[in-house]
Amino acid sequence: MAQAQSFASDPALRDLDALLPDLTDFYKDVHSHPELSMQETRTAGLAANRLRVAGYEVTTGIGKHGVVGLLRNGDGPTVMLRADMDALPIQEATGLPYASTATATDKEGKTVPVSHMCGHDMHVTWLAGAAKLMAENKATWRGTLMVIFQPAEETGEGAQAMIDDGLFKRFPKPDVILGQHVMVGPSGTVAGRAGAITSAADSLQIRLFGRGAHGSMPQASIDPVVMAASTVLRLQTIVSREVAAAEAAVLTVGVLQAGTKENVIPDEAIIKLNVRTFDAGVRARVLAAIERIANAEAAASGAPRPPEITTIDQYPLNVNHQRATDRVVDAFRGHFGAERVRATGPAPASEDFGSFGSQWHVPSVFWFVGGTDPEIYAKAKEANKLNELPVNHSPKFAPVLHPTLQTGVEALVVAARVWLPA
């Protein structure tokens, strides 16, 4: 397995090699004990304890399970570093010796498997490591470091929950907000861009109403199954026929539910869908088209009432500040070397990280850290099979531990030090 080159360009990183065994154990522990969104009690406790031991002022329970650590180190800028903590209702299939076997009760009262198939366990470990190194090397910088462990990114509610719980009033306003995410890409590399870095996302439920009847007497019904099928097919034309080729949008119907028996026409049907966009105008047009199509298909079917369209969750467009991004990229190139710092296009995935910067009116920068074994990635690229590599949210997504762990800690420290003078 390839190891990333170790750079000693930042004195705050001189103890990283000695810290890696502890961080490896910590990562495996968090990975083996995943928690669903807004249930991150254990993970938040572990993070808070590590911050206390390192000398931070720690506040817990912000937005239910959010943790904020402050390390005041004289006059200077305030830098905020953020990691998310929650896991997903997915059965892990990585085969790792520390794979999760956990289950939990979700919001609907169902028992579901739980695993860290998006990499938030890596994010927690990175931030814990960076926080410790910065605390142990206070003589090398001045200012205030604000470390945030956020709940419920996967449901799009965690950042807003912390904000609604007084984050902006209870803590100093940062000069910059920094965050990162493990993704498919060669381990040991970082990637980012100025401008839009992750998409806006809207998840909707459409409830269609019909009139039930016996399957042998469809003339007595208003069939919501046919209504839903027509709606799903027509929704597919929004991107292909209403979004320009130079623009971008993704619309996916992930749930279509109706009926319980083959010879019974039900009273209603449920459609759940997800939209990703990179432009506010495109987003508005797509959402309007969804509403127009759902209402038109219901009317065409003679539905007894218009459909109910409700929002399940929303993520803001995550936009990297130009000048702040330039500063981070320059620091990364100086530390990692230009060959390990890559430019990337905007990712269709979504993140609520952007809520902090946009609502606090603070420059923010978000980037990606590769988590794929470099040899495996290179072979897949050569064979034109990159799309076959397990991605985030796959039950087989498993970032290679080294040098992914080391690279993420380095990236956070190096980026923070751009604003924290010696």
Which pair of tokens denotes residue 330? Answer: 């320059």
For 48-107, the three-class secondary structure string (H helix, E strand, C coil) is: HHHHHHHCCEEEEEECCCEEEEEEEECCCCEEEEEEECCCECCCCCCCCCCCCCCEEECC
Residue 22 CA to its chain's centroid (Å) = 25
| Torsion region of 74: left, alpha or beta (phi above 0 gives left; psi -120 to 50 gives alpha) | left
Give yes or no: 86 in active site: yes
Give yes or no: 153 in active site: yes
- Choose the catalytic residue: 10, 86, 154, 202: 86
- Other residues' Cβ atoms within 10 Å of the Cβ of residue 71: 20
- Choose the catalytic residue: 153, 202, 351, 410: 153
Q: Could you tell me the strand order of the sheet in which 57-62 lies?
A: 57-62, 66-73, 143-150, 78-84, 176-186, 364-372, 190-192, 341-343
Which pair of tokens denotes residue 173? Answer: 């306003």
- Report which of 274, 285, 283, 282 is spatially closest to residue 251, judged by C-alpha positions: 274
Which pair of tokens denotes residue 340? Answer: 């390990």
**Which residues, 6 or more positions from 352, have their beta carbon under 8 angstroms from its beta carbon?**
153, 156, 157, 158, 159, 160, 315, 316
Active site residues: 86, 153
